Structure 1
Amino acid sequence: MKLLLVFMLASLLQLGGLTPSAAQARRELLRSVNAPGVVPVQDSLFMDEAEVANIHWLEYLHALKKDSSEAFYQSQQPDTIRLRRWLYARHDTLNANPYYYYGYRDFYYFPVVGISYEQAVNYCRWRTATVQRGYLQSAEFKKKHKKLLAQYEVRVTYRLPTIAEWEAAAAGGLDPIKAPFGVLRPPTPGTARYKHQLLRKSNDFDKCLPRIAGAQPADEPIFKMEFTLLEKAYVGRTMAPFRCNSQQATDLFNGRYGGGAFPQYLYAHPPNGFGLFNMIGNAAELTATPGVAKGGSFEHSVLEFTLKTGFPYDGPREWLGFRCACVVELRRKAPVK
């Protein structure tokens, strides 16, 4: 009976006479589909919880190798020449290794970069087709959603987010004026985020802090930056961001790959209010508008932008990646006569 009521409420949405409970019922139906890799943002819109990673692109290329022409397969390769030159110029320790960022397994779950707008669009199309004929047609899905499928056709479409969709997702449910990066800064004392970001002081901090106007190292908490950007930390009271150049300090901030500007593991920082990781920083993200990326990257300063800022580009960049938006549709089937 309860499930039947859910279906009745969902049908009201198609007639336009929506009540709050009917709208909630519709959202629950859409979320029950559990489209792979995404989390809900608003209504029928979902978003990848993290940036598309190197391992996802390798999976895409593996599928193309089997099912597409050699010419198309080659056309979907990242700009590896740009990536290799960029890595060698900044990280000499990688030169001795036969692998590099894109193909090295330690970087599988780092954001894929060096791809074009057209390649990202093609990836989203491929992913849509793969989910439609794989996940949605699987015996497990049909068994789990037998009642849903008896009344609805389910459609899942992956694509690049519009600028408005990206900004809404990046805000994480907060006011973008009060929280221009989609999180509260500095974190509230006593919270898990506060404990995660609070950094211990050391001689390395003492060397960095005097360069910051108004900083008071004796009594000011120092927080690790919430995002992978040029600056690695900031002073709690003044919000003044800073970088430390000594090896000990950069290791403390960034871990293994702390020696310079570099992308990070997809889940290196806590998510925003929607459960989305790295909407700000790590890799700037393509949108459905060609030439406009959002969110900044490991090569950008926190002082340069907010989530409203657009970053122009005219081709693949070492700092530019993407994530997919996902739209879930439920189309009521015609009654069987």
Structure 2
Amino acid sequence: MKILFTKTAFVLLAVSAVVSSCSKQHETSQKTGIAYNDKTNGGYVRFRQTHPSPGPGLVPIEGGTFVMGGSADQDVAYDYNNVRRRVTVPSFYMDETEVSNQDWLDYLHWTAITFPNDRELYYDALPDTLVWRKPLSYNEPYVDNYLRHPAFQDYPVVGVTWDQAQDYCQWRTDRTNENILRETGRMVAWKDLNGGKNGGGAAGTTTAAAGGGNGAAQPFNTDIYLNGQMKGPGVDGKKMMPDLSPNAQAGTGKGGKPVRPVRMEDGILKQGYRLPSEAEWEYAALALAGNTQFENIDDGKMYPWNGLGVRSAKSKTRGLILANFKRGAGDNAGVGGYLNDKADITAPVRSYAPNDFGLYNMAGNVNEWVADTYRQTSFEEFDDFNPFRGNEYSNKRMADPSKGLYAKDKYGRPIKDPAKANRKLKYSELLAQQGQRADSTNATAATPANAVPANGNAANANALLATKNSGKAFNPDLRGEKDTVNLALYGNTTLVNNRSKVYKGGSWNDMAYWLNPATRRFMDQDESSAEVGFRCAMTLVGAPEIYPNGKPHYGVKKAKAFKSK
């Protein structure tokens, strides 16, 4: 049973998130009675509640509980690396298809026109097409043609490292949000950008005229924009949001009315694209929601489709292979005249039937990177809600903490540093940390793992060097960021380290065993392969239920309005 995505599943995004200040009846605060959206009383704002639609290319995945690793019926590699564990995955969005060659060429094109003189940036963004080259196989035509020839434009991009996939996710987030703002008039429209010259400013560069910008043209960045560091002449559009604050200055609105950039609270911008977690990927691939009635799963799955076989049982497609994989040694395509899966290497990203979530090629075609760092025993340790291994927390570096301005790199992106604590710092601590950041960073980089701090006493030195059975030197740091690891044997006695990232799903060159969503393998984050691609995901904010029609619900009561006497 395929679940259909309906327009009624979401509340349409409002054209304006703020209720007009001209309204006679204002909504009031439930706790103070102060009217919202009234510029006469200080301009307190209550934004329209929305359940935003997914970003371009994504479909909604309604979360729930499932047995991670439960679809595997054997462990042919004897890895013992995915023992069954019941977990809960929150609702999220996921790409309908794998990222294609055309999608990646868009990324390369933007890079070339935005930074035409930065050969290093463009070179680093290029996939490694040499992954097709084999010493005993004539794959040289794919080296030159697979990425760029239009015949392959709808095929999944390969030769992409985990790091490159992460960079693409950030780029896609910024381009999507920039397009929303320009198309809706919250920023200068595409056709008016740079005065309509040079193709209307197709690269999307703007001038950071306010908020600590250096006045030079820089690409749009979501974090920098939301922090108020991209605004002013050449940036502001004709349909900016009304600013009700009594501190607002006259703006570019009609009659000089105060206006402001879009905020996160407006619900207009999309959450960031990212790689899915391993749990999200496995849950989405199984799509057990298609076999669920009244909270009961009627039938489990071994693949993204029902049944134990790999051929279609439907009358119109009976006998056809359901995914692109290697049927046997030396059999990548089948017999000439009747190819079994209609592909010899990869296939277009919309090939074969989608699963019950509407996702294509969640088995076969290419393996897909996920966000997790690989450990054999992850299942023994991770949380049972939204499990994920690999959190490396970071904070945006402040250029001026007193003004709340982010430091930017030469590409206009916020510079991020490892987080030092798992709590909000006191303001005095924030100022002190930012002031000492450069010195502490240099000291950390230059200090050997087992060195005794020069300014530490003997007791502190002993505590720092006191090692546990794990080989980790102890340091009482809330997050563990300061803890050091003895690197003498780390990565030498095992191939697994913090750079080992998980990929899943099976590929055009894999046997059917790897099509099972529970199987997992790993590769270094800087390595790539002709059998590995990726797709993006996005966090869903708000209520988790996506398909509420026809289901019982408790009503949500509205608060009583307060009336001043």
Q: TM-score, normalised by structure 1?
A: 0.66
The question of whether the paired residues in 1 share the 8 Å contact of 2:50 and 2:267 is answered with no
- Give 1:100 deviation, angstroms: 1.5
Choose from 47, 68, 80 the match for 2:129. Answer: 80
Whether 1:322 aligns to 2:322 is no
Instruction: Give the drift of 1:157.
Output: 1.2
CA distance in 1 between counterparts of 2:135 and 2:355 reads 30
The alpha carbon displacement at 1:162 in A equals 0.4
- Find the counterpart in structure 2 of residue 62 from structure 1: 109
Separation of aligned partners in 1, 2:95 and 2:352: 16
Equivalent residue letter for 2:353: P
Per-residue CA distance 1:181-230 (angstroms, 9 max, x = gap): 1211269x9xx9713531xxxxxxxxxxxxxxxxxxxxxxxx22211110
Identify the residue that residue 225 of structure 1 maps to in structure 2. Answer: 321
What is the CA–CA distance in structure 2 between the aligned matches of 1:108 and 1:287, rounded to whole Å? 23
For 1:35 and 1:264, locate their aligned partners in 2 and report how far apart those are by CA, in whole Å.
Answer: 25
How many Å apart are 1:138 and its aligned residue?
2.0
Highest relative contact order (Cα 8 Å, sep 6+), 1 or 2? 1
Show the counterpart of 1:195: 315
The question of whether the paired residues in 2 share the 8 Å contact of 1:39 and 1:48 is answered with yes
Counterpart Cα distance in 2 of 1:91 and 1:328: 41
- Would you say 1:252 and 2:339 are equivalent positions? yes
SS at match of 1:197: coil
Residues 225/247 of structure 1: CA separation in 2 closer, same or farther (3 Å cut): closer
Give the distance between the partners of 1:248 and 1:61, measured in 2 at CA. 37
From 175, 182, 185, give the equivalent of 1:130: 175
Distance 2:162 2:119 in 1: 20
Q: CA deviation at 1:134?
A: 0.8
Q: Structure 1 residues 270 and 105, CA, compared in 2 at 3 Å: closer, same or farther?
A: same
Query: Which residue of 341, 346, 349 corresponds with 1:266?
Result: 349
Bigger Rg, structure 1 or 2: 2
AA of the residue aligned to 1:298: W
Partner of 1:181: 303
How far residue 311 of structure 1 moved from its aligned partner, in angstroms, is 1.8
The answer to whether residue 390 in structure 2 is matched with residue 303 in structure 1 is no
Partner of 2:61: 41
Aligned equivalents of 2:179 and 2:283: distance in 1?
30
Equivalent pair of 1:176/1:182 in contact (CA under 8 Å) = no
Match of 2:362 in 1: 279
Aligned-partner Cα distance in 1 for 2:512–2:186: 43
Q: Which residue of 2 aligns with 1:20?
A: none
In structure 2, the partner of 1:153 is 267
* TM superposition shift of 1:273: 0.4
> Which amino acid in the other structure matches residue 104 of structure 2?
W
- The CA distance in 2 between the partners of 1:140 and 1:184, in whole Å, is 47
CA distance in 1, matches of 2:122, 2:282: 32
Residue by residue over 1:234-268, the C-alpha shift from the partner in whole angstroms, topping out at 9 and shown as x without a partner, is xxxxxxx995976425x43244x44xxx1111111
CA–CA distance in structure 2, aligned partners of residues 141 and 278 of structure 1: 37
* Equivalent residue letter for 1:167: E
1:45 maps to a residue whose letter is: F
Distance 1:287 1:302 in 2: 20
Whether 1:312 aligns to 2:522 is yes
- Closer, same or farther: CA 169–141 of 1 in aligned 2, 3 Å: farther
What amino acid is aligned across from residue 162 of structure 1 in structure 2? S
Unaligned runs of 5+ in 1: 8-27, 199-222, 233-240, 331-337
- Distance in 2 between the 1:88 and 1:65 partners? 35
For residue 110 of structure 1, report the CA deviation from its aligned partner: 0.5
How has the CA–CA distance of structure 1 residues 283 and 123 changed in structure 2, closer, same or farther, with 3 Å as cutoff?
same
Letter of the aligned partner of 1:89 in structure 2? Answer: S
Amino acid at match of 1:33: S
Deviation at 1:301, TM superposition (A): 0.7
Say which SS state the counterpart of residue 312 (structure 1) adopts.
strand
Q: Do 1:131 and 1:156's aligned partners in 2 also have CA atoms closer than 8 Å?
A: no
The separation in 2 between residues aligned to 1:244 and 1:59, in whole angstroms, is: 30
User: Secondary structure in 1 aligned to 2:529?
Assistant: coil
Q: TM-score if structure 2 supplies the norm length? A: 0.41
Indicate how the Cα distance of structure 1 residues 242 and 58 shifts in structure 2: closer, same or farther if over 3 A, else same.
Answer: closer
Larger helix share, 1 or 2: 1
Partners in 2 of 1:244 and 1:35 — Cα distance?
35
| Alpha-carbon spacing, 1:269–1:86, altered in 2? closer, same or farther (3 Å) | farther
Do the aligned partners of residues 245 and 79 (structure 1) sit closer, same or farther apart at CA in structure 2, a change above 3 Å counting? closer
User: Does 1:52 pair with 2:99?
Assistant: yes
**1:34: how far off?**
4.1
Partner Cα distance (2:280, 2:130) in 1: 32
Q: Per the alignment, in what secondary structure is the counterpart of residue 164 of structure 1?
A: helix
Which secondary structure state, in structure 1, belongs to the residue aligned with residue 279 of structure 2? helix
Contact 1:47–1:326, Cα closer than 8 Å, also in 2: yes
Q: Measure, in 2, the Cα distance between the counterparts of 1:176 and 1:305.
A: 22
The offset of 1:130, in angstroms, is 0.7
List alignment gaps of at least 5 residues for structure 2: 1-7, 13-48, 64-90, 188-240, 242-262, 292-296, 374-500, 543-565
Contact 1:49 1:275 in 2 (8 A): yes
How big is the alpha-carbon RMSD for the aligned residues of Structure 1 and Structure 2? 3.8
Change (3 A) 1:244 1:310: closer
Specify whether residues 164 and 80 from structure 1 end up closer, same or farther in structure 2 by C-alpha distance, changes over 3 A only.
same
**Segment of structure 1 superposing worse, 167-176 or 116-125:** 167-176
- Paired with 2:273 and 2:103, the residues of 1 have a C-alpha distance of 14
Evaluate the alpha carbon distance shift between residue 245 and residue 66 of structure 1 in structure 2; reply closer, same or farther with a 3 A threshold.
closer
What is the CA distance between 1:72 and its match in structure 2? 1.3
Q: What is the aligned-residue identity percentage?
A: 27
Alpha-carbon distance, 1:73 to partner:
1.3
| Distance in 2 (alpha carbons) for counterparts of 1:245 and 1:132 | 41
- Offset from partner CA, 1:40-75 (integer Å, 9 cap, x none): 012651000000000000000111112233211111
Q: Which moved more, 1:317-326 or 1:154-163?
A: 154-163
